[in-house]
Chains A and B, each alone.
Chain A
């Protein structure tokens, strides 16, 4: 599908993301060249917050509109309901964490709850991270399971290949290390296991389940490669994969496995996650809108 044939909403999301990442690259370049933190801090605090909140709003609106396209008894109606609620949780979480209680200093975007927060965070910020992270993921997992079952019913389920199993194996190894580091941190500081920290411990196993679902869904969506519906579920698959990458990057930086300069790309991954999550329902909605417009001449795109 060429750029011009892409749905207008998808083009908007892609353009906005490219511009935002470009601005981020400029801010990093200024930081490296001058040593001044002003531009990178402003970028993350204001442009970064506006970007994730704006795209979460778009994701929530598009998901709800896609859900409304289904009627009672439709196989994927419950899935779209769960996706809409998950998108709303992400929006509420980002508003709490990024607008009402922005994080301290040069931490990069911290968009997911962790068992061992390295910096003191306000209760509002932690609630936001919990909502946008584990709560949204807990809602997304059964939704993807329902979609996977729908593909399966049509005999279109995808078989995982060697590379998929390899990715799952590597992710499992790193996630186990992440959880173990979280346990060690908690024990060393005798930190109480509050709700936020408990949800932080849920993130890693949940992401592994989601990664398995995303890889399976990606293979299934390839049976509809090039179509709007296949692209919708490929976008969700990419969003989960990028979330896993972002989470692992966050862990590696926090525990000193990656040097500080390498941390910068891990911040930018979260912006791609937001873009991928907004792109999924945009494709679904375009599919529904096309049907509303009726059959168009065969040469029309």
Chain B
């Protein structure tokens, strides 16, 4: 997982600036989704609830990002909340900043916690 997170951060670091990162966002999003689905238990009941879980976890993740990143979190979470998989989108958008200012370990831990709560990541 750590290696995948490193790839994600490297992908987001390719753009010249944080605000110009939109171009690579799709690529990062695909990485997070692949990471998420790799460990998915594929339980039928849970799959049906995933969009609901995603929205619930997205609210908690947005609150946490606001505590950590303050005003910057507004930029990172507002467009993502309306996305189909808002948790993925938020992690993709905030991953690079979190990794820089909190370190890889903390960024991965936060992502793991969020993905685990969506019900798709097995507890390990």
Contacts and interface: CB of A to CB of B under 8 A. Distances in A.
B106 A288 contact: yes
Contacts of A222: 71
Given A155-B18, A295-B57, A227 B69 contact: yes
A34 interface: no
B69 A229 contact: yes
Q: Interface residue tally of chain B, by bracket?
A: 35 or more
Interface string A224-257: 1111111100000000000000000000000000
B67 interface: yes
Interface stretch (B23-31, B37-45, B78-86, B108-116): B108-116
Interface residues of A, number: 35
Q: Which of A153, A229, A291, A294 has its CB near the most chain B CB atoms (within 10 A)?
A: A291
A289 B53 CA distance: 25
B111 to A, nearest CB: 10
Given A155-B17, A295-B114, A298-B63, A70 B103 contact: yes
A154 B110 contact: no
Given A227-B72, A230-B70, A154 B97 contact: yes
Nearest to A157: B17
B103 A295 contact: no
Contacts, number: 108
A76 B67 contact: no
B69 A224 contact: yes
B68 interface: yes
B53 to A, nearest CB: 12
B7 to A, nearest CB: 13
B114 A77 contact: no
Contact of B99 (A74, A224, A287, A288): A74
Nearest to B73: A227
A49 B113 CA distance: 44
B11 to A, nearest CB: 15
A183 B101 CA distance: 42
Contact of A223 (B61, B63, B72): B72
